[in-house]
């Protein structure tokens, strides 16, 4: 079977550490080679909030132009996207909603196609409804264990139930998924270092449980997995 290169462009170190451990082996078994660069690395300030929409589209085009002809997707947090016209993100509604996420993905796809032309056929935009930490709540007991606070499992489960699902956990900047975890477990560490929790959670959480508990994330992952089948059937 022909191997496929997938580039998942992320915002920071936590996403990089989490997805390497969560998806590296899983996608490798499907003959998908996973690469997880951080947006803006080597181009000044790396955080997405400092980059214009035009810069982001250009950087995504650069990944698409790689000689390996990769598929390129994003994992950006709606929660932290820039807003307003100064950097060209005026299409991002300040009030977060599922419909708003779909519209942002459409704008990303259009922006990349305008820059990349036909290369944009290999671009799959994805914006997480709130932030990476929402996925951690898919397995409350595993989250509590990795945080070395097993007594918190029931509280994490209550948060999911009250919100109506992992991907719905967010109703203010003070109660975003990461803020909830930090409030209950001050020792929570972001990033991908040996002390960080993201890589450990990536290794501990079940891909199948994540796709069940987080249907929007699950649909994105299913689309990535389907690329392997379509590539193997191409002439």
Q: How confident is the model over 6-28, as pLDDT tens digits?
A: 999 999 999 999 999 999 999 99
Residues 154 and 112 in one domain: no
Place of tokens 């922006």: 111
Residues 11 and 81 in one domain: yes
* Rounded Cα distance, 235 and 49, in Å: 42
**Owning domain of residue 19:** 4-130+211-233
The answer to whether 177 touches 136, Cβ cutoff 8 Å, is yes
Residues 125 and 55 in one domain: yes
Residues 111 and 225 in one domain: yes
Residues 226 and 126 in one domain: yes
Residues 58 and 118 in one domain: yes
Q: How many domains does the chain have?
A: 2
Between 81 and 156, the higher pLDDT residue: 156
Q: How confident is the model over 195-228, as pLDDT tens digits?
A: 999 999 999 999 999 999 999 999 999 999 999 8
Residues 191 and 137 in one domain: yes
Place of tokens 């671009």: 123
* Confidence (pLDDT) at 235: 47
Residues 120 and 221 in one domain: yes
* Rounded Cα distance, 79 and 168, in Å: 12
Q: How confident is the model over 58-75, as pLDDT tens digits?
A: 999 999 999 999 999 999
Residues 161 and 88 in one domain: no
Residues 152 and 193 in one domain: yes
pTM metric for this prediction: 0.93
Residues 62 and 170 in one domain: no
* Confidence (pLDDT) at 194: 87
Q: How confident is the model over 45-59, as pLDDT tens digits?
A: 557 888 899 999 999
Q: How confident is the model over 225-235, as pLDDT tens digits?
A: 999 877 655 54
Residues 32 and 101 in one domain: yes
Q: Is the pLDDT of residue 97 over 70?
A: no
CATH number at residue 94: 3.40.50
The answer to whether 131 touches 179, Cβ cutoff 8 Å, is no
* Rounded Cα distance, 144 and 180, in Å: 13
* Confidence (pLDDT) at 130: 83
Written as six digits, the tokens of 213 are: 């508990």
């Amino acid at each position: 079977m022909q191997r496929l290169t997938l580039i998942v462009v992320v915002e920071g170190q936590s996403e990089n550490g989490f997805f390497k451990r969560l998806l590296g082996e899983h996608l490798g078994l499907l003959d998908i080679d996973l690469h997880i660069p951080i947006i803006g690395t080597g181009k000044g300030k790396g955080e997405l909030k400092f980059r214009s929409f035009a810069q982001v589209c250009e950087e995504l085009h650069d990944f698409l132009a790689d000689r390996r002809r990769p598929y390129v997707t994003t994992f950006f947090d709606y929660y932290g996207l820039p807003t307003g016209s100064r950097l060209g993100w005026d299409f991002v509604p300040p009030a977060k909603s599922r419909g708003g996420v779909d519209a942002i993905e459409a704008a990303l796809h259009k922006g990349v196609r305008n820059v990349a032309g036909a290369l944009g056929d290999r671009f799959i935009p994805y914006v997480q409804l709130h932030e990476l930490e929402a996925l951690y709540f898919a397995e409350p007991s595993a989250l509590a264990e990795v945080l070395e606070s097993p007594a918190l499992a029931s509280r994490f489960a209550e948060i999911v139930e009250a919100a109506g699902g992992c991907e719905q956990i967010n109703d203010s900047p003070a109660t975003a998924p990461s803020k909830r975890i930090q409030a209950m477990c001050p020792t929570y560490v972001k990033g991908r270092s040996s002390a960080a929790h993201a890589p450990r959670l990536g290794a501990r959480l079940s891909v199948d449980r994540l796709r069940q508990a987080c249907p929007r994330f699950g649909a994105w992952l299913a689309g990535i997995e389907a690329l392997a089948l379509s590539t193997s059937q191409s002439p």
